[in-house]
Amino acid sequence: MRTIWGKVVVFLKQVKAELKRVKWPTSKEVRRLTLLVVITMIILGLYIGIIDVILTKLIEWGIR
């Protein structure tokens, strides 16, 4: 039976081997996907903001 440190060493070796098999994105892909995420978040933020303003106005109108 392995000690805890033996298990840690085996785990770290497996992690290192797995990371070698990863297909890392190119810098061009990273830039493109980052831009896509930022644009999506801006659109989503605007959508939520507009809905918030509309609902706030409707509630204010309903209370009066």
Contacts of 33 (CB under 8 A, 6+ apart): 25
Alpha helix (H) residue ranges in the chain: 4-21, 27-63
pLDDT for 32: 98
Cα atoms found within 13 Å of the Cα of residue 54, Cβ hemisphere only: 6
User: Cα(27)–Cα(16) distance, rounded to whole angstroms?
Assistant: 22
Kindly report whether the global pTM for this prediction surpasses the value 0.75. no
Residue type, 17: A
pLDDT by residue, tens only, the chain of 64 residues: 678 999 999 999 999 999 999 999 999 999 999 999 999 999 999 999 999 999 999 999 999 8
C-alpha torsion 32→36→39→40, nearest 10: -170
